[in-house]
Chain A
Amino acid sequence: MRAFRFCRQFVGGNMGETIYTRVSETPLSLDEAYQFVASPQNGAVNLFVGAVRNNHQGKNVVSLAYDVHPSLAEATFKEICQEAQKEWPGIRCYISHFKGHQEIGGMSVIVAVGSAHRAESYEASRYMIEELKKRAPVWKNEVYQDETSSWLNGVSLCQRI
């Protein structure tokens, strides 16, 4: 019962919602993700977490800053969730991406899927994170031990128009 009380508050009182996406400038919450995708019909919950690691291509990374176009990112997250639900009907989808400065080990993204069985939760989760990486307007600026920083290369959105 506790879970459902939380969920009602979380989605603005609409338990019919099966997709939740957001860009967050505060620390991401695994509990929030779990509570949203869990439901009595679901026997599986898959939580994927992207975290900041301390190295990249031989360089010591001390922190990472995420730049995000908020409205387009949320629209892209929703689109990806809708595609996943079309492919795996009945799943509940949650995507939350961090915006701002994050220390090593901090959570950058949570992709959560609730489904009747484990197979579709794994498959949908994998689809969602892979699409997010290719399509969502998010950029990473790595800060190194020598106090230099670098924007990481990415995937051009030119082919999406």
Chain B
Amino acid sequence: MGSKQVIVQFYGAFRSSGAEMVVNLDGQNTVADLKSSLATRLAGQLSMLVGDSVIATGTRILSDSEEITGDARLSILPPVCGG
């Protein structure tokens, strides 16, 4: 497994850290690893918010155990409050 570049698009409260973040992962990685990396790099309350958030593609939410097999463009979705 080589290195992968994952671009994570931000929504909601995460937007206070910009539009997106580039995360480089090495080896075999899951969505949980990506969340862990995001939590490390984000500051304060946003770091804590990662645990209540999900990672998604353009069409579906990914489970924490899903593997990230290559470069990807994903989103992190904090708790929702539409309507």
Contact = CB atoms under 8 A, between A and B. Distances in A.
A74 B12 CA distance: 17
A22 to B, nearest CB: 14
Interface stretch (B21-29, B36-44, B50-58): B50-58
Given A133-B81, A135-B80, A161 B13 contact: no
Given A69-B11, A139-B12, A139-B13, A160 B61 contact: yes
A67 B75 CA distance: 13
B8 to A, nearest CB: 13
Interface residues of A, number: 33
A108 interface: yes
A14 interface: no
A82 B60 CA distance: 17
B83 A154 contact: no
Contact of A157 (B13, B64, B80): B80
B15 interface: yes
A151 interface: yes
A146 B55 CA distance: 34
A66 B12 CA distance: 9
Contact of A109 (B54, B75, B82): B82
Contacts of B56: 69, 72, 137
